[in-house]
Structure 1
Amino acid sequence: MTVVRTVHILRHAHSSWAVPGQRDHQRALDDRGREDAARLAAHLGGRGASVARVACSTAVRARQTLDIVRGALPDALDIRFDDDLYALGPAAYEAQIRAFGGPGDLLLVGHNPTIEQLVFALCTRETPALRLARPGIGTAHWLTLEIEGDALDGAMRATLQDIVRP
């Protein structure tokens, strides 16, 4: 059975560099990151209105980005934090997409290079949004993908419909 669903992907906002002894996982947003995330939330308009579930990396900077953008999302959300979105690469993001059956949209909050690897592997149809993303997906960028997949054969394809920058 072919399924089409909307998935939004948010790369965490700009973060500080790690200080000696600090784990990468604990890095927080810097001033620029907080400002960019707030600007992004203001630019989203209704793009996040259909989000029903959020799967967010457990890294501090991803959580902080979600906290700032949260005001642009519906009040009733199923928010899940997943270590795999920090550590395991594109397969963890694909697993979240496959596990979400709707209704509504899924929002993934995570990191590069994983986001770029996922988007460029899934999105093979050239669109203006994909051309805009090709030089690189920056911090605090919001992407909207239409995912098509067959639950039986495991094949998944996507079209990058939109990209919003702060």
Structure 2
Amino acid sequence: MNLEPMAGFLTFWAWWVAALVLAAVETVAPGAFMLWLGIAAGLTGFVTLATGLGWEGQLAVFAILAIVSVLWGRKWAKRHQGSGPSSVSRRADQLPGRAVVLVEPILHGTGRAELDDTVWLVTGPDAPAGTVMRIVRTEGATLIVEHIG
């Protein structure tokens, strides 16, 4: 009985098992790297089944597909996830232009204002408590404010 066609079939399943293992590793490893290698392994399994390549050809196909899938994955991630921190960690970048009410007067350039149930340190021109000011920019956890109007 000729087992040569069956060897390609078994190798196909070996690549699919490798793909599943790499995908499982991705769930515990940060960075979304193993996912792309798993995709390359799965595609290598399809190529192996379709062409009956020997192990040297399979490794060459896997190497090429791994490089292509990782590079494509990085490009896709940059396009869909952005390259900087999420908007949650950039809350201060969203504040310029908003109005705040001083809960403590600004004396000698420093005071406190309330915004969204949080009291912030503010710097700007002297003004009494209760004054509504506009946020110009942020410096760390300090709001730089100016008079509205």
So what's the TM-score if we normalise by structure 1? 0.22
Greater fraction strand = 1
- Which of structures 1 and 2 has the larger relative contact order (alpha carbons within 8 angstroms, sep 6+)? 1
Q: TM-score, normalised by structure 2?
A: 0.23
**Which one has a larger percent helix, Structure 1 or Structure 2?**
2
Larger Rg computed on CA atoms: 2
